[in-house]
Amino acid sequence: MSKKTGKKGLRVLAKAAAGLGLVAAACGGEIAYFYRRTMKRGQAKTDRTIKMAGTDWSQYMPLIEERKAAMLDRVHSDVWQTSFDNLKLHATYFPALAAGQEKKKIVICFHGYTSQGMSDYIGLSDYYQKRGFAMLLPDARAHGQSEGEYIGFGCLDRQDALGWIKWAIGELGEDTEILLHGTSMGAATLLMLSGLSLPEQVKGIVSDCGFTSPKEVFTHVLHSMYHLPAFPVIPGADLVNRRLAGYGMDECNAKREVEKATVPILFIHGGADTFVPCSMCDEIYEHCAAPKRKMIVPGAAHAESYYKDMENYERELTEFIKEVM
């Protein structure tokens, strides 16, 4: 090979290497951008989540504001616990309205992504408190008044949920009965929790629009809303998350965890949910080993099922509670 040919080959290799470097840098930038916007506190925005979910909440605001005022007028207090990884976690506690009742009942409610405890259950507060339930509304890690830099997406939050269950038993006594109700990320938290050994006081789980895993729901969002492939963003974000947050994005998957579930589960999902597709609910339901019920609300968008069909939602909830409690 001549020197001239050799130099030309080196130039080609140098250009190729530079090109690969640019591609790698671009991919790295894309991964970092996605990760910041989805996994980090302060970067994951509530208004962006609402926009992606596509639910029109304005039509329900008069009812929500009315129930919020009534809810805040009731006796309530701030409570705290320390997580397994030493974060200070916050919740709001509402004692049962009916004092001295025979059965001590509490519902622990887990909110969705970028929300907080006092937001997602304003509507249902009326239902639960009129039926003698105390209510505990935790702020998930990296949300509301709870500490944390990285969002747990159920994978870490299920351990926090165990802590709140223990708090409720300590507050109300060994003879209390506990219902767990989750929405979106909160529902995924409880479905992931269902595979663990739970105290006997936990009588049932309500999962409203829960997803399988952060990996699968974000893959869906990239495909359906941004028309982008999962690679390299999802694998890259998974590697970053393992290093920074301490868990993989498919390390804990609801459809695998419910195969070990023993506590009865009520699955609720909106038939028009484009953020967490209804097919995820069907998939998790099919894998569920515990006693189960399923309600699909036609025309309901993400987390809209209660407001879209309040009468049937409350009827289904009442029937489930009678069965398990």
Q: Are strands 88-94 and 133-138 parallel, antiparallel or unpaired?
A: antiparallel
Q: Is 62 helix (H, G, I), strand (E, B) or coil?
A: helix
Write out pLDDT tens, residues 170-213: 999 999 999 999 999 999 999 999 999 999 999 999 999 999 99
DSSP assigned state of 139? P
Q: How far is CA 160 from CA 85, 97, 140, 164, in A?
A: 10, 26, 8, 7
| pTM strictly above 0.85 | yes
Q: Is residue 107 part of a domain?
A: yes
Domain hosting 156: range is: 45-213+252-324
pLDDT at position 50: 86
pLDDT at position 175: 96
pLDDT at position 27: 59
Q: Is residue 285 part of a domain?
A: yes
d(CA 101, CA 279): 41
pLDDT at position 9: 44
Residues 6+ apart with CB under 8 A from 301: 53, 54, 55, 56, 270, 272, 273, 274, 275, 308
DSSP assigned state of 40? B
Q: Is residue 178 part of a domain?
A: yes
Q: Is residue 121 part of a domain?
A: yes
- 134, with CB counted inside 10 A (0-12, 13-18, 19+), is buried
Q: Is residue 235 part of a domain?
A: no
Residues in the chain with pLDDT values less than 50: 3, 5, 9-26
Q: Is residue 12 part of a domain?
A: no
Structurally, the chain folds into a number of domains equal to 1
Q: What angle do CA 158, 160, 165 make, to 5 degrees?
A: 95
CB 197 within 8 A of CB 223: no
Q: Is 90 helix (H, G, I), strand (E, B) or coil?
A: strand
- 47, with CB counted inside 10 A (0-12, 13-18, 19+), is exposed
Return the closest-CA partner of residue 289 out of 255, 256, 258, 248.
Answer: 258
Return the closest-CA partner of residue 119 out of 185, 165, 199.
Answer: 185
Q: Is residue 54 part of a domain?
A: yes
Q: Are strands 133-138 and 202-208 parallel, antiparallel or unpaired?
A: unpaired
Instruction: Tell me the CATH number at 131.
Output: 3.40.50.1820
Tokens of 12: 């080609």
Sheet of 77-82, strand order: 77-82, 88-94, 133-138, 105-110, 177-183, 202-208, 265-270, 292-297
Q: Is residue 18 part of a domain?
A: no
